[in-house]
Amino acid sequence: MIRRHLEAPLRELARSYPVVVVTGPRQSGKTTLCREAFPELPYRNLEPLDQRTMAREDPRGFFAELMEGPGGAVIDEIQNVPELTSYLQVLVDEEPERRPFVLTGSHQLGLTSAVSQSLAGRAAMLHLLPPSLGELRGFGELPETPWPLLWRGAYPRIFEEGVPAGRWLVDYFEAFVLRDVRSITNVGDLRAFTRFVELCAAHTGCELNLSRLGGDAGVSHHTAKSWISILEASFLIQLVPAWHGNLRKHLVKRPKLHFLDTGLACHLLRIREPQQLERHPLRGAIFESWVAAELLKARLHRALPSDLFHLRAKSGLELDLLLDQGARIDLFEAKSGATVVPDHSAALRRVGSLLAEEERAPELGMHLVYGGSEPTTFRKVKITPWNQLDALAESL
């Protein structure tokens, strides 16, 4: 078992809020985290049908049983009975000094709406993704190159139980993703939906083009938009928005699509071994998505806003990622090769020069993350090996 970086913010927020909601993809470790952080609280799981039925048909009795002790509880998979949040609102308002309620949920559709309507001002929202690079170190030494790690992905059960990654990801996609799709929306053609998800994997690291994705999958633009929302709400992808800073007159506004777990992306792309990934034409895009996911994890697992963007100007100038914290902006390029050449930092230096010319120039950091092993600095660009990305991300 590994320590998750979100544990400290979770404990801290539970001292200030009567309800804390932890969302994230299935099998990312939410239950383990919450039960480890609050072992003294009673636990209920709303995934089994009998528990779900009891909570839905007799919510007052459900909470009465939990409140026999000091109050508070860990309630798992709350999205299965979102109407419980209305009853929870009354409880926390009547007895705000009781122990906290810690809720977990595996997808945001419906859950976010229920929390915002019933528990506004009473609940803190946190997000737990599969372990970051720094957290994965708890399972043992990292490989010598990034490809075994990116191919395997980061879902903890693959590491804890030694299950072959390819086999586990097949089961994960079929048993969890397709089941959740049936529960949150009426997808009439699961075969078309699966094809759509595979096409999304083929476009990881690219700007989102709904018309193209929908056309290639044989569905309408409206359906493609709905399905993207499902993937985002289920934490399978992240849409990194385009940056609209002081250069907005010159910028393209489409978001970039990134898979949050590169192992799942590799499975959907039928990449069956790390050596195949190392030679694959989408190697660079998958590496960029991994860097984006690591930066996002470093933010969310410290209870910080994402603040991640990408940049593309109409002139052709592009930047993979940009972390905008107001007074400070960090620029990132991701290069999958083990060798760095001067051209790799050209976009970083160009964007850095443009930002330095602004009237209120921010503090600036320029970073190149690559597939090699030696850190260095070149013309104010900090060059970071892939296996040191966690230290960089957590320092920002």
pLDDT in tens, 16-37: 999 999 999 999 999 999 999 9
Query: Which residues face 124 on adjacent strands?
Result: 20
pLDDT in tens, 31-55: 999 999 999 999 999 989 999 999 9
pLDDT at res. 175: 80
pLDDT surpassing 90 at residue 146: yes
Mean pLDDT value across residues 85-100: 83
The DSSP H or E segment spanning 299 is helix 283-300
pLDDT at res. 371: 98
For residues 8 and 20, give the distance between their C-alpha atoms in angstroms, rounded to a whole number. Answer: 13
Share of the chain above pLDDT 70, in %: 95
**141 and 80 within one domain:** no
The long-range contacts involving 83-88, CB below 8 angstroms and separated by at least 24 positions, are 83/56, 83/59, 83/114, 84/55, 84/59, 85/114, 85/115, 85/117, 85/118, 85/119, 86/114, 86/118, 87/59, 87/60, 87/63, 88/19, 88/63, 88/118, 88/119
Mean pLDDT value across residues 93-112: 78
For residues 270 and 264, give the distance between their C-alpha atoms in angstroms, rounded to a whole number. Answer: 10
Q: The whole model's pTM is what?
A: 0.94
**175 and 267 within one domain:** yes
pLDDT bin (cut points 50, 70, 90) of residue 126 is very high
**387 and 242 within one domain:** yes
**152 and 97 within one domain:** no
**148 and 103 within one domain:** no
Query: Which ranges constitute the DSSP H helices of 185-282?
Result: 190-202, 210-217, 221-233, 262-268, 274-279
Residue 309, φ and ψ in degrees, nearest 5: -140, 170
**186 and 55 within one domain:** no
Q: Do 323 and 317 meet the contact criterion of CB atoms below 8 Å apart?
A: no
Last residue of a domain, one of 67, 100, 127: 127
pLDDT surpassing 80 at residue 98: no
pLDDT surpassing 90 at residue 384: yes
Residues 6+ apart with CB under 8 A from 329: 322, 323, 355, 362, 363, 364, 365
Task: Give the helix, strand, coil percentages of the chain, each rounded to 5.
Answer: 45, 20, 35
pLDDT at res. 31: 95
For residues 274 and 28, give the distance between their C-alpha atoms in angstroms, rounded to a whole number. Answer: 22
pLDDT surpassing 70 at residue 110: no
The residue type at 153: G
Last residue of a domain, one of 88, 109, 127: 127
pLDDT at res. 249: 60
pLDDT in tens, 241-290: 999 876 556 677 899 999 999 999 999 999 999 999 999 999 999 999 99
Looking at 84-88, 214-218, 243-247, 355-359, which range is the least confident one? 243-247
Residue 1 within any structural domain of the chain: no
**What region does 283 belong to: left with phi over 0, alpha with psi -120 to 50, or beta?**
alpha
**90 and 187 within one domain:** no
Residues 6+ apart with CB under 8 A from 86: 114, 118
Q: Do 43 and 35 meet the contact criterion of CB atoms below 8 Å apart?
A: yes
Question: How many domains is the chain built from?
Answer: 2
Structure-block tokens of residue 200: 């999304």
Q: How many CA atoms lie within 13 Å of 150's alpha carbon, on the beta-carbon side?
A: 31
Mean pLDDT value across residues 76-99: 85
Looking at 248-252, 336-340, 344-348, 363-367, which range is the least confident one? 248-252
**356 and 210 within one domain:** yes
**What region does 355 belong to: left with phi over 0, alpha with psi -120 to 50, or beta?**
alpha
**Boundaries of domain holding 51:** 7-127
The DSSP H or E segment spanning 328 is strand 328-335
- The three-state secondary structure class of 368 is strand
pLDDT in tens, 202-237: 999 999 999 999 999 999 999 999 899 989 988 999
CATH of the domain at 80: 3.40.50.300
Residue 321, φ and ψ in degrees, nearest 5: -145, 150
Last residue of a domain, one of 69, 93, 127: 127
For residues 268 and 170, give the distance between their C-alpha atoms in angstroms, rounded to a whole number. Answer: 9
What's the distance, Cα to Cα, between the start and end of the chain in Å? Answer: 27
Q: Which residue from 175, 158, 152, 145 is spatially nearest to 267, judged by alpha carbons?
A: 152
**181 and 119 within one domain:** no
Residues 6+ apart with CB under 8 A from 281: none
pLDDT bin (cut points 50, 70, 90) of residue 121 is confident
pLDDT surpassing 70 at residue 108: no
Q: Do 380 and 366 meet the contact criterion of CB atoms below 8 Å apart?
A: yes
**284 and 197 within one domain:** yes
**119 and 11 within one domain:** yes
Averaged confidence pLDDT in the chain: 91
pLDDT at res. 33: 97
Looking at 153-157, 181-185, 311-315, 342-346, which range is the least confident one? 181-185
Q: Which residue from 205, 230, 229, 201 is spatially nearest to 217, judged by alpha carbons?
A: 201
**178 and 153 within one domain:** yes
pLDDT at res. 66: 85
